[in-house]
């Protein structure tokens, strides 16, 4: 029996006990939100939710669009249950957040009945559906979780030994682990050309692999998958990237020949330092000269920060080899939550510190997070409080200077 089925078994016993207790009272409550017997229409999904938490009052359902969650519905929790219903053309990853925390629970939604158990620690929630793609998704996510846990273990295996030898080994082990994780996803796509999950993963990894490999993986998909409208759209996106890639060299030559514009005023970036998850003291000067640096002020408990992390991962994968570095400065108080969030969100760059007493944030005028700023190749502040498409556009400009 799966862990999820055991959880729901416990839940049923709990609810039965609650009903028996009510039967002994003079006034018996009728269930406000009973689970209906459903016959789903074509392309319809039904999410049946359960929690043991008395504090959980509201649940928010978000669709992931261009790596950023967009809230599409909310539900009030009654008698520890809630539900969502809607229509969906093709399977997609959705996210659940709650009034307790902005920490996300990511799961797959397809045209089926999906049972969801929301844990007090939302990230450790569970979902179940009997469809083939749901089973594939669960197997894939279990493997990704195992990679994440290995990443966390690498930090804890130091056991307080922050010698240069141990730190260098940790860095090498992290690189190997991320490469192994990337290989696993690539192999899954290759081995499952008939599964729509392969399409979802291709969309997620489109900036993580080289465009030639993305094209090869896409071309390996079955003709039936390629006939679906959303997959044709993905093909168009890949083609556009291929075209842009071919034209980039011509554009670079034209930019080089264009007379330089009047330089804008850019103040010198303040230096700072802090301790990394593996006990190494890092500062802004730790990053080699000549890099474009994205400084990200964030925290594990900050929902909007966590929502932008997928974009940061995409930017890093896309531009790191061109000279981009990311320096993450956390406002976390607890090391455990911080390290878990780094591993969970796959923030696999080397530069992470905690901003004790918000002294770094104060120097940079950070009043709220997330807060992102860019430092040019000369160590000057080029942009502040920048996000979204403007962030990527500015990075490309700074890298070209």
Domain ranges of the chain: 33-130, 136-255, 273-400
Count of other CB atoms within 10 angstroms of residue 11: 17
The average pLDDT across 358-379 equals 91
Contacts of residue 53, Cβ cutoff 8 Å, sequence gap at least 6: 80, 100, 118, 120
If one compares 14 and 340, the residue with the highest pLDDT of the two is: 340
**pTM of the prediction?**
0.71
Asked if residue 151 has pLDDT above 90, the reply is no
Three-class SS state of 284: helix
Q: Which tokens hold the place of 120? A: 């007090």
Please give the backbone phi and psi of residue 400, each rounded to the nearest 5 degrees, phi first. -80, -15
Whole-angstrom Cα distance, residue 200 to residue 196?
7
Tell me: the pLDDT tens digits for 69-86?
Answer: 789 999 999 999 999 999
Three-class SS state of 78: strand
Poorest-confidence range of 33-42, 193-202, 294-303? 33-42
Q: Can you name the residues that pair with 92 across neighbouring β-strands?
A: 109
Tell me: the pLDDT tens digits for 207-222?
Answer: 778 889 999 999 999 9
* Sign of the Cα pseudo-torsion (51, 52, 58, 64, in order): negative
The matching CATH number, chosen from 3.30.930.10, 3.40.50.720, 3.40.50.1980, 3.40.30.10, for 273-400 is 3.40.30.10
The matching CATH number, chosen from 2.60.40.180, 2.30.30.110, 1.20.1050.40, 3.30.1330.10, for 33-130 is 2.60.40.180
Average pLDDT, the chain: 84
Poorest-confidence range of 13-27, 60-74, 100-114, 286-300? 13-27
Asked if residue 244 has pLDDT above 60, the reply is yes
C-alpha torsion angle, residues 282, 283, 287, 293 (rounded to 10): 120
Asked if residue 12 has pLDDT above 50, the reply is no
Whole-angstrom Cα distance, residue 3 to residue 7?
6
Whole-angstrom Cα distance, residue 102 to residue 104?
6
């Amino acid at each position: 029996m799966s862990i999820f089925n055991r959880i729901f078994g416990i839940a049923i016993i709990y609810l039965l006990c609650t009903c028996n207790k009510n039967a002994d009272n003079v006034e018996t409550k009728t269930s406000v939100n009973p689970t209906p017997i459903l016959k789903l229409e074509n392309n319809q999904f039904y999410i049946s939710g359960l929690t043991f938490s008395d504090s959980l009052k509201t649940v928010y359902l978000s669709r992931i669009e261009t790596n950023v969650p967009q809230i599409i519905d909310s539900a009030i929790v009654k008698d520890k249950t809630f539900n969502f219903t809607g229509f969906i053309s093709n399977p997609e990853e959705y996210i659940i957040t709650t009034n307790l925390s902005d920490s996300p629970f990511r799961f797959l939604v397809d045209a089926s009945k999906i049972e969801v158990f929301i844990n007090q620690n939302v990230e450790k929630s569970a979902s179940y559906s009997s469809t083939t793609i749901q089973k594939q998704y669960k197997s894939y996510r279990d493997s990704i979780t195992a990679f994440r846990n290995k990443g966390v273990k690498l930090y804890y295996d130091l056991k307080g030994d922050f010698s240069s030898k141990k730190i260098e080994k940790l860095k090498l082990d992290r690189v190997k682990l991320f490469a192994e994780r990337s290989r696993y996803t690539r192999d899954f796509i290759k081995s499952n050309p008939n599964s729509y999950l392969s399409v979802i993963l291709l969309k997620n990894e489109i900036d993580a692999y080289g465009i030639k490999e993305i094209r090869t993986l896409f071309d390996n998909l079955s003709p039936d998958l390629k006939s679906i409208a959303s997959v044709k759209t993905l093909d168009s996106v890949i083609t556009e990237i291929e075209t842009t890639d071919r034209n980039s060299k011509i554009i670079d030559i034209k930019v080089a020949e264009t007379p330089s514009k009047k330089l804008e005023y850019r103040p010198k970036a303040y230096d700072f330092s802090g301790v990394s998850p593996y006990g190494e003291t890092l500062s802004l000067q730790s990053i080699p000269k000549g890099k474009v640096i994205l400084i990200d002020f964030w925290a594990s408990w900050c929902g909007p920060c966590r929502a932008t992390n997928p974009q940061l991962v995409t930017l890093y994968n896309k531009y790191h080899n061109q000279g981009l570095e990311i320096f993450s400065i956390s406002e976390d108080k607890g090391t455990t939550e911080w390290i878990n969030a780094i591993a969970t969100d796959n923030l696999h760059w080397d530069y992470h510190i905690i901003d004790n007493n918000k002294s770094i944030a104060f120097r940079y005028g950070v009043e709220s997070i997330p807060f992102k700023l860019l430092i040019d190749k000369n160590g000057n502040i080029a942009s502040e409080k920048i996000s979204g498409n403007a962030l990527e556009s500015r990075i490309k400009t700074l890298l070209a200077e």
